[in-house]
Amino acid sequence: MNNSALGRLSTLATSTKKKTLKRITINLALDEAENLEKYCEQTGKTVTDVIRELIQALP
């Protein structure tokens, strides 16, 4: 990678705001957990991404 490309990458990395994250834990019934895992396998999405998308779709 040339120096100008490295400069653009470092600028991009330092100019984005850092997100504050909060870890949560949820309890699911076995059938709910299996349904979520099956959905993730079918879509190729992670559990985190699926839950995040559902939360973002809330009004």
Where along the chain do its domains lie? 20-59
Taking the whole predicted model, whether its pTM rises above 0.85 is answered as: no
- Terminal CA-CA length for the chain: 44
Rounded to whole angstroms, how far apart are CA atoms 18 and 26?
25
At a CB cut-off of 8 Å and minimum separation 6, what does 9 contact?
A: 1
Q: What phi, psi does 11 have (nearest 5°)?
A: -65, -45
pLDDT at position 19: 81
Residue 45 has φ and ψ, to the nearest 5°, of -90, 155
Q: What pLDDT score was predicted for residue 34?
A: 98
| CATH code, 20-59 | 1.10.1220.10
From first to last of its 59 residues, what are the pLDDT tens digits of the chain? 555 555 555 555 555 677 899 999 999 999 999 999 999 999 999 999 999 999 999 99
What the block records as the tokens of 44 is 């190729």
